[in-house]
């Protein structure tokens, strides 16, 4: 079973969200997603100050197998991207919940975070995919 930290929120597109002390949210792809995609060779991230609507593609992770869109689950504005990934995209594979984070964003409606999946809900969702 993939690693699924309990303090995060999740989407059915396999993104995770971590609340930050300043009210912003941090986004990355789950361990399940990075295993599915394979060894990453490139990560394309948005520009800072980009407004993104919920459900829109906001980044691309590319492996030797395929390029996969990453979706922002809540509308918001990108405030920071993980520039380290330009030279070290493999961090998404080796540390998806730590140094492999993709971006931070300011949500338009922070309460919508409650609509995302809990770790238990995401674990059940992944288990159903593997049946």
Predicted pLDDT at 66: 87
d(Cα 78, Cα 98) in Å, to the nearest integer? 18
The residue behind tokens 């949500």 is 107
pLDDT tens for 6-57 read 999 999 999 999 999 999 999 999 999 999 999 999 999 999 999 999 999 9
> Exposed (0-12), middle (13-18) or buried (19+): which is 6, by Cβ within 10 Å?
exposed
The DSSP bridge pattern shows strands 103-107 and 76-81 to be: antiparallel
Q: What percent of the chain has pLDDT over 70?
A: 99
pLDDT tens for 57-113 read 999 999 988 899 999 999 999 999 999 999 999 999 999 999 999 999 999 999 999
């Amino acid at each position: 079973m993939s690693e699924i930290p309990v303090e995060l929120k999740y989407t059915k597109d396999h993104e995770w969200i971590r609340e930050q002390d300043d009210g912003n949210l941090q986004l990355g792809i789950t361990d399940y997603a990075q295993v599915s995609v394979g060894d990453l060779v490139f990560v394309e991230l948005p520009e800072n100050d980009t407004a993104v609507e919920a459900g829109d593609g906001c980044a691309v992770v590319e492996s030797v197998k395929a390029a996969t869109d990453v979706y922002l689950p809540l509308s918001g504005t990108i405030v920071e991207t993980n520039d380290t990934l330009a030279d070290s995209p493999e961090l998404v594979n080796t540390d998806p919940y730590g140094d492999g984070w993709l971006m931070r964003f300011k949500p338009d409606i922070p309460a919508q975070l409650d609509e995302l999946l809990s770790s238990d809900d995401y674990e059940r969702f992944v288990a159903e995919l593997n049946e």
